[in-house]
């Protein structure tokens, strides 16, 4: 990737985060409300933001840390912040004038969230297609920032609605993708490099992983998604099917199909069976999260490699990334 393929670090224009106070939160002070709502900052930091005039209640700028009432409307006017440089070049794998499938580079966020607003696939598509007579393609699903590969977008709202429903249906079924007689309308296959020698499989053999995924305490975030080895109320059932493709000295190449769309599912499930993604700083063998790491940190190699899509008119579209992880090497 050349320098021209990168979006340089730049300040955005800031953003307004809007919230409404619920009955259970009545009586809480503003700083406590925000410290609970946005765990990246403590009450003292929110107090300073109040003093700076960044927070409004019911349209009025607040300066004091006042108690809240049910129904209060809050607005945090976050000042412009610096967004890191990101890769901004991708390969178009398919474009029929409505459906657009691109090969997203690792390191580029899909949608605005957290520290990302302008340096995202969505904003880049809006800028690059603002004069497109067919309309602006918008992502239909998410991929993690450091997950590369096939990202499905669509220009027409009806197409996005159909694809979203098809994706939900394909994951909600939670059944083996190889089950005879069953063929979901959407099937996604991923590939990843794992820490070598941890899987008790021969090349070509498969393993089903059904470890639940749940929220557990985390020193920096308050809570984090990880393997729920100790079952608790609220844990989510999750199913993945892992196939060992190849062993190399630097890592094991696997293919993964998921039957449920849980947060960080592939990273968590591989770690849960003792074989974390190679270079993943967050998920440890067993599926617990490292206290000093965050979900947005990269270093691992995970790719949305293949997409099979049954279109409403009957055509079955099969797409693969131009260069898979196997060709790239561990």
Listed by start position, the domains of the chain span 10-83, 86-328
C-alpha–C-alpha distance, residues 47 and 64, integer Å: 8
The DSSP element (H or E) to which 91 belongs, if any, is strand 91-95
Contact 239, 260 (CB under 8 A): yes
Radius of gyration of the chain (CA): 22
Does the domain at 10-83 match CATH 3.10.290.10? Answer given as yes
Assigned token pair, 57: 């209640």
pTM of the model: 0.89
Distance of CA 253 to the CA centre of its chain: 22
* Ordered per-residue pLDDT tens for the chain, 330 residues: 676 799 999 999 999 999 999 999 999 999 999 999 888 889 999 999 999 999 999 999 999 999 999 999 999 999 999 999 999 999 999 999 999 999 999 999 999 998 999 999 999 999 999 999 999 999 999 999 999 999 999 999 999 999 998 887 776 554 545 555 556 688 999 999 999 999 999 999 999 999 999 999 998 888 999 999 888 999 999 999 999 999 999 999 999 999 888 999 999 999 999 999 999 999 999 999 999 999 989 999 999 999 999 888 878 999 999 988 877 677
Beta-carbon contacts of 128 under 8 Å, excluding residues fewer than 6 positions away, are none
Contact 121, 139 (CB under 8 A): yes
The DSSP element (H or E) to which 188 belongs, if any, is strand 186-194
CATH number of 86-328: 3.30.2350.10
């Amino acid at each position: 990737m050349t320098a021209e393929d990168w979006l340089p670090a730049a300040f955005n224009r800031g953003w307004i985060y809007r919230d409404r106070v619920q009955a259970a939160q009545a009586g809480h002070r503003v700083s406590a409300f925000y410290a609970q709502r946005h765990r990246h900052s403590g009450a003292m930091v929110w107090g300073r933001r109040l003093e700076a005039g960044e927070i409004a209640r019911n349209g009025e700028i607040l300066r004091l840390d006042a108690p809240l009432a049910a129904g209060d409307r809050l607005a945090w006017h976050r000042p412009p912040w610096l967004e890191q440089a990101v890769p901004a070049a991708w390969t178009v794998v398919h474009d029929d004038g409505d459906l657009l499938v691109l090969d997203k580079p690792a390191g580029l966020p899909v949608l605005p969230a957290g520290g990302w607003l302008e340096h995202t696939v969505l904003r880049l598509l809006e800028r690059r297609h603002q004069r497109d007579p067919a309309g602006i393609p918008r992502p239909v699903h998410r991929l993690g920032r450091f997950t590369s590969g096939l990202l499905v977008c669509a220009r027409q709202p009806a197409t996005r609605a159909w694809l979203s429903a098809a994706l939900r249906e394909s994951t909600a079924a939670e059944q083996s993708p190889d089950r005879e007689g069953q063929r979901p309308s959407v099937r996604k296959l991923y590939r990843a490099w794992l820490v070598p020698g941890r899987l008790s499989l021969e090349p070509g053999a498969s393993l089903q992983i059904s470890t639940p995924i749940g929220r557990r305490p985390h020193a920096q975030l308050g809570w984090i998604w990880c393997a729920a080895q100790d079952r608790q109320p609220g844990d989510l059932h999750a199913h993945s099917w892992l196939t060992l493709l190849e062993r190399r000295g630097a890592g094991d190449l696997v293919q993964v199909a998921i039957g449920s769309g849980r947060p960080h599912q592939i990273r968590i499930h591989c770690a849960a069976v003792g074989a974390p993604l190679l270079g993943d700083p967050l998920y440890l063998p067993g599926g617990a999260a490292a206290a000093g790491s965050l979900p947005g940190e990269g270093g691992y190699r995970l790719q949305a490699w293949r997409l099979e899509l049954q279109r409403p008119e009957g055509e079955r579209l099969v797409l693969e990334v131009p260069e898979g992880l196997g060709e790239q090497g561990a």
